A and B are shown apart, each in its own frame.
Chain A
Amino acid sequence: MSSDPDKLVAKADKLTKLTLTRWSADWRNATLNYEQAANAYRVAKKYGKAKDAFEQASKGQEMLSSPWDAAKHMESAAALAKEIGNWNEVADLYRRASELYVECGRAQPASDALGKAARAVEDHLPDVAVQLYTDAISLLEEDDKDQMAFDLYRALTAVYIKLEKYTDAAAALLRLGLAADKSSATNSQFKAYLGAIIVYLYAHDVKAAEKCYNDCSQISAFLGSDQGRCGSRLISAYSEGDVEEIKRLAQSSTISHLDHAIIKLGRKLPTGEVTAVKAGTEEGEGLDENDLT
């Protein structure tokens, strides 16, 4: 076998093309050739050609009915596409790899592939990344592997925060809390709830933050936990308009144990006018009384 990758590719192509003399494609040899060519290209740093070779190799493995190897080759192709910087193709290739993994019946690597894809494209195509993360999370949840999903949830939240979609970020955090609850990971759950409250406060939606806190307080353990207490102090500080207290709480160690993105939000609290909240609540009470009569 010659080590020149071009020659290998040519040979493999010949093996697979159906002609008069060849009635059935010899996929085994072709795949071997493609793999060797791809490795050679990768060493030579010819990423485009390497990627193509990997794709062909993957197709060959598929034909040989070994989806696992096919998926592996697809992943390598996608990694090379990342080197080139062709983001759409990266996403596509990783998706294809994930589907092949699902064919094998292995959800974990499938979700891993989607996660890698999302991480690769989140800087350039954040919406695509969001979609990829969501798909990855659903794959794991279907398979009852909630705990693996935590990291994906956190990454998803970070992307949302970067996109400044705070309600979505808070929703993602609450879903994380739910997943943590299912696997009784109380620490992560409470940290997720506190993070959601902080996100709401950062978006200056104090009502939503209060509602969120009340919902989360249904879980008695949260009320008594460190994070719950910090949350309640934040809410009360907001309703009293005590800026110093908010700043002090933001520096506290409880918040420093949360996710990086959330810590950054926390340090920037309070956003906007804090004193206005008090007047708003008083007004609200007046209306309520009228309604009751």
Chain B
Amino acid sequence: MSVIDILTRVDAICNKYDKYDVEKQKNLNVSGDDAFARGYAAVDAEIEAALEKAELASKEKSKASIVALNAELRRTKAKLLEEVPKLQRLAIKKVKGLSTEDFAARNDLVLALPDRIQAIPDGSAAAAKQPGGWGPSASHTEIKFDSDGRFDDEYFQESEQSNQFRQEHETRKRRQDQGLEMISEGLDTLKNMAHDMNEELDRQVPLADEIDSKVDKAASDLKNTNVRLKHTVTQLRSSRNFCIDIVLLIVILGIAAYLYNVLKK
């Protein structure tokens, strides 16, 4: 075993048995019945232990054990996060015998706790982006301000960029307005034409009806006339009449021929 190993081992053993070191405890707990200090110390210790476990997990080769260790880490983190609000409440309480600086420092310490807890690597830290803490500048998780909260005079001054942007915005808006005006005029014309067409059609409806009735009358007259014509024509030129005509013609010719013969003699 090397010297370094021995030293590490000795450190670990000392840490383990620190709680039996009465003097050290006295120094740690400035006022033994200060709930905050006790709670804070406990959380601190837990964080350290979690960090150690995380280091162990990163060194592990087998995946299963890594997963198990990570799960345990996450559980510890959740528990610690629950403790934080309690500590916050305790931090605000004034305790006798405590200097003002210490008091202010306590607040900061409590506020820094969640960060430290989240910072414990548990295999999922890399994936999610760390959300902004309850710092003074960021208000919402997604919105990021370029200026980091420096709302001083310089911030509201016009910059070249913003001027240009505004100008471009106005030119584009003007062009859009022009286009829209042209469209609006075109639509006006269309509306007017449509109205006129409507009126024209209204005007022509009764005319069309009149045409309809007149054409109907003419058609029926025509049909009547056709039927009568057909009757007349059949009557005039039926085949029976034809035969009678021919026969009579032959008879007359015969009589004429007979008379001719008689007269010739």
Contacts and interface: CB of A to CB of B under 8 A. Distances in A.
B192 interface: yes
B184 to A, nearest CB: 8
A183 B192 contact: no
Interface string B46-70: 0000000000000000000000000
Contact of A257 (B189, B202, B203): B189
B196 A187 contact: yes
B199 A185 contact: yes
B5 to A, nearest CB: 95
Contacts of B203: 147-148, 183
A147 B188 contact: no
A187 B188 contact: no
Contact of A183 (B185, B189, B195, B202): B202
Contacts of A254: 188
A185 B192 CA distance: 13
Nearest to B184: A253
Interface residues of B, number: 10
B124 interface: no
Nearest to A184: B202
B210 to A, nearest CB: 10
Contacts of B195: 187
Contacts of B199: 147, 185, 187-188
A253 B196 contact: no
Main secondary structure, interface of B, reads: helix
B164 interface: no
Contacts of A184: 202
Nearest to A108: B207
Interface in A139-177: 147-148
Given A147-B203, A148-B203, A253 B198 contact: no
B185 A253 contact: yes
B195 to A, nearest CB: 4
Contact of B202 (A147, A226, A253): A147
Contacts of B188: 226, 253-254, 257
Contact of B189 (A148, A188, A253): A253
B185 A187 contact: no
Contacts of B202: 147, 183-185
Contacts of B189: 253, 257
Interface string A250-269: 00011001000000000000
| A-B pairs with lowest CB-CB distance, top 10 | A187-B195, A257-B192, A147-B203, A253-B188, A185-B199, A253-B185, A188-B199, A187-B199, A187-B196, A185-B202
